[in-house]
Structure 1
Amino acid sequence: MDARNQTAVSEFLLLGLTEDQALQPLIFSLFLSMYLVTILGNLLIILAISSDTHLHTPMYFFLSNLSFTDICISNIAVPKMLINIQTQTQRITYTGCLSQVYFFLVFTGLENCLLAVMAYDRYVAICHPLRYTVIMNPILCILLVLLSLLISVAHALLHTLMVLHLSFCTALEIPHFFCELAQVIKLSCSDALINNLLVYLVAGLFAGVPLTGIFFSYIHIVSSVLRMPSSGGKHKAFSTCGSHLSVVSLFYGTGFGVYISSAVTDSSRKTAVASVMYSVVTQMLNPFIYSLRNRDIKGALRKLIGSTASPL
């Protein structure tokens, strides 16, 4: 089979999660429901934080950025999948496919960095409470978010530019519901050794550094909390970290689960099903984790809903 230059490729085919046409209406309803819940849940978190002046703190500033990132991740793949199911087509343009690859890497990378920044914020709040407002000043908070975005953009740009140098065969079927980097590289007819090495090397570095930072932050947090004399202080300190730890466990747990499943199974479809967890479900659950475990967020949501409903 002859390879052709990537500039001649006009479209890819997204095969989705299953070939069974009878299941398509169920999949459409399920993903539409998850998409709407994700958008509504994260928007409520952002609106609740912005409307309550008591929540204008570094912790909730980072949380609102995390919610915005979750909205962006959900908008990358799910709408196109729903449109394809509704129109009974599997096509996605070459440009559209690379755009999905790029923006998915940008916003998952941004979420990865934000979780590390939020761990640092909790470390400063618990281990250096008297210096918290001085250290976590507004300028530093904005710089941390911008730095996270810059790193994520550079990471995504590196992989996307490397994909642009690949040539593709005539069989351009992607056994997934969106254009994932690893699946696109597999379609290449040219030598993709450098691309694959970069995926593992950069992914290990990009995930390993923030995860290490989170790990060491919580070692210091636990050490400081255990030295607290009152049980009430310990409970309050741990409660402020509980939601963040839950989100970290969900994000990294589902991500590692996908890579493990891809390593132990040869079925790309099974890997695609597993990837639903970190590309769709995680973003849907994050608002519930923070709203159910955080009294301040619950209070702000009640005020927001109450003020919205009162004119009616």
Structure 2
Amino acid sequence: MRNQTLLDEFILLGIPQTEGLETVLFVIFSFIYSFTLFGNLLIFIAIISSSTLHTPMYFFLGLLSIFDMSFPSVTCPKMLLYLSGQSHAISYKGCVAQLFFYHFLGSSEGCLYSVMSYDRFVAICHPLRYMLIMKPGVCASLLMVAWLVGCLQATILTTFTFQLTYCGLNHMDYFFCDIPAVLSLACTDSSLAQKVGSINVGFLALILLFSVCISYVHIGIAILRIPSAKGRQKAFSTCSAHLTAILCAYGPVIIIYLQGTPNPLFGAVVQILNNIVSPMLNSLIYSLRNKEVKRSLKKRIAKCRAFV
């Protein structure tokens, strides 16, 4: 029988099947995390400091940079702490907060991708009415909806996960407080929480991906109707960076749901791609494929050099 003493902390054992690789992983993830923060911060600074980028498209891109700095910050600092040889323990409240903000930021960012695809749809399919449709009040309302959806999703998942009793075993064979890893330690029946978690995450991801597909179907039809090849290329170039970022974001989620028998190592690798690598790739994608962002970054760098 398990000891019925309620837990006040969990022990994160780390990435499955990586014993002895802590130093190597610490160096790799430290570089990726630092690059993610630095790259997205540069994009954010480039957007707010350039008056030519004060448009709805770059407003949402600036928000995406904030999300891409915040999302990996939920899990990466603690992971780097125990990879460096420090404590593997995370408090019960810390675990609750980590799970909540992980799903809040993840869901909100998914909604933001859908909003950005709608923005591109309006820009290409209704260019003459773009500024009228995407006025500041509408942009702010869409952002509030994204935050509310993320908050509601995170509240439901966190409530169902932590309404269960946790006692006895507290060693979590994972690198952060994810729902399946936490539920495996529950003393009471966790089948309902598992179903709610799977259905909610899958359903929201499916709806958001479907909304993105609808926008891009209309965008694709509109691009094909453009008579000149140069015009089609220019229209597509405005969407290519966003489309690439969406594939990087939804790819790991789709892989997790399509895998047959769950594999702890494979699941951890896919989660790392989603949590840490994708936010880093976004900064590369938008800085390398967006001429306006590159131009603004070059101006900022030139000013810094002149100041130094």
State the TM-score bracket (shorter-chain normalisation).
Answer: over 0.9
Aligned to 1:38: 36
Letter in 2 for 1:42: N
Aligned to 1:83: 81
Quote the Cα distance in structure 1 between the aligned partners of 2:201 and 2:296: 37
Residues 1:84 and 1:227: Cα distance change in structure 2 (over 3 Å) = same
Q: Percent identity?
A: 37
Is 1:276 the counterpart of 2:279? The answer is: no
Aligned to 2:99: 101
| Contact preservation (8 Å) 1:3, 1:189 | no
Is 1:2 the counterpart of 2:9? The answer is: no
Unaligned ranges ≥5, structure 1: none
Match 2:291 to one of 292, 295, 312: 295
Q: If the length of structure 2 is used for normalisation, what is the TM-score?
A: 0.96
Aligned pairs for 1:123-138 (under 5 A) are: 123-138=121-136
| Contact preservation (8 Å) 2:8, 2:91 | yes
Quote the Cα distance in structure 2 between the aligned partners of 1:27 and 1:259: 26
Quote the Cα distance in structure 2 between the aligned partners of 1:4 and 1:162: 20
Match 1:264 to one of 258, 261, 265: 261
- Shift of residue 3, structure 1, vs aligned partner: 6.2
Aligned to 2:48: 50
| Contact preservation (8 Å) 2:165, 2:187 | yes
| Contact preservation (8 Å) 2:16, 2:268 | no
- Shift of residue 27, structure 1, vs aligned partner: 0.8
| Contact preservation (8 Å) 2:17, 2:265 | no
Letter in 1 for 2:172: I
- Shift of residue 277, structure 1, vs aligned partner: 0.5
Please state whether the residue corresponding to 2:20 is helix, strand or coil: helix
Q: If the length of structure 1 is used for normalisation, what is the TM-score?
A: 0.95
Count how many residue pairs are aligned between Structure 1 and Structure 2: 308
Quote the Cα distance in structure 2 between the aligned partners of 1:158 and 1:130: 41
Please state whether the residue corresponding to 2:90 is helix, strand or coil: strand
Letter in 2 for 1:296: E
| Contact preservation (8 Å) 2:161, 2:183 | yes
Quote the Cα distance in structure 2 between the aligned partners of 1:27 and 1:280: 13
Unaligned ranges ≥5, structure 2: none
| Contact preservation (8 Å) 1:12, 1:93 | yes
- Shift of residue 19, structure 1, vs aligned partner: 5.9
